[in-house]
């Protein structure tokens, strides 16, 4: 019986710790949603592989990038 109570207590502590970490991560990096005015067509960044709405990308010719950093990495080789 003691073992069962200890096991339940341990599971509760693990659950509480994971909830705390999830909450802290949400504060540090909140989820970002796609703007409601986006075209709906997603394009793939060739550097990081991220799919982004076409109307929010950085372009270089026929290539689409999620950020200026990815664009710079691609152009600089």
Q: What is the pLDDT of residues 2-57, one digit of tens each?
A: 999 999 999 999 999 999 888 887 766 655 555 555 557 899 999 999 899 988 88
What's the chain look like in SS3? CHHHHHHHHHHHHHHHHHHHHHHHHHHHCCCCCCCCCCCCCEEECCCCCCEEEHHHCEEECCEEECCHHHHHHHHCC
Look at residue 33 in the predicted model and tell me its pLDDT.
54
Q: Which residues contact 53 (CB under 8 A, 6 or more apart)?
A: 34, 35, 38, 39, 40, 41, 42, 43
In a shared domain, residues 48 and 76: yes
Q: How many domains would you assign to the chain?
A: 2
* pTM, entire model: 0.48
In a shared domain, residues 18 and 44: no
In a shared domain, residues 22 and 4: yes
- Which structural domain range is residue 73 located in? 33-77
In a shared domain, residues 53 and 68: yes
């Amino acid at each position: 019986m003691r073992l069962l109570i200890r096991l339940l207590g341990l599971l509760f502590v693990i659950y509480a710790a994971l909830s705390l970490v999830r909450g802290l991560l949400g504060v540090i990096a909140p989820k970002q949603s796609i703007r409601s005015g986006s075209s709906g067509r997603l394009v793939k960044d060739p550097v990081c592989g991220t799919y982004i709405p076409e109307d929010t990308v950085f372009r270089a010719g026929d290539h689409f990038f999620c950020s200026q950093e990815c664009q710079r990495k691609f152009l600089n080789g």
